[in-house]
Amino acid sequence: MSDRAIQSNGIEIAKIDSPPLSELVKEANQNSNNLYAEVLLRTLGVQNPNAAGRTVLEHGLTSVTSKLNQFGINKTEIELTDGSGLARQNWSTPAAFVKVLQAMSQELEGKYFRESLPIAGVSGTLQNRFQNSPAKGITRAKTGTLTGVTALSGYIEPPNYPSIAFSIMINQSPDFAPVQRNAIDEIVGLLARLRSC
């Protein structure tokens, strides 16, 4: 609401300033806060009312799709229907996630995105994972979990190898989520040990 609208409609009695966007994204990614993810997408939709679509959600999705297209990712690689990723209509290839991660590392805001991701064995949804793994402290990644689906995508900074963007997704597995997570953690641990020849 503009100051002029406030002056014409009454006196402001309370005001809350939002934390910076980097902190909001960090909350969404660190703790898998799906409500934050949904609200951030809709906020993007409000900020871009000229995007094709009828609703704030559609405006937000159009904005995200446009950015993905700039990253070289098209509809054959990723489909989004919400901000949290909880809708079954969402889907993506691991290669598309890797493209996003690589592109984000080249963006001016990429530093804030990377810092928003949980650190293996240290913070957020990865705090209790990778405790006895070479990936601990050198991996920043976002989890993804639905019934029958377990995923982890992010960055690894091996001490003797260039930075790695990775995405591992398990879909329609008969194994329980903890078994799937253990398999993913083993793969990440192996990547963390890579050495240059």
Bin 121: left if φ > 0, else alpha if -120 < ψ < 50, else beta.
left
> Model confidence at 1, in pLDDT bands (50, 70, 90)?
very low
Bin 148: left if φ > 0, else alpha if -120 < ψ < 50, else beta.
left
User: What pLDDT digit, counting tens, does each position of 52-77 carry?
Assistant: 668 999 999 999 999 999 999 998 99
The helix or strand, by DSSP H or E, that contains position 170, with its residue range, turns out to be strand 164-171
Check whether 186 has a pLDDT greater than 80.
yes
User: What pLDDT digit, counting tens, does each position of 127-151 carry?
Assistant: 999 999 999 999 999 999 988 899 9
Domain residue limits, the chain = 19-91, 117-197
Q: What is the mean pLDDT of residues 32-54?
A: 87
Check whether 3 has a pLDDT greater than 60.
no
> Model confidence at 20, in pLDDT bands (50, 70, 90)?
very high
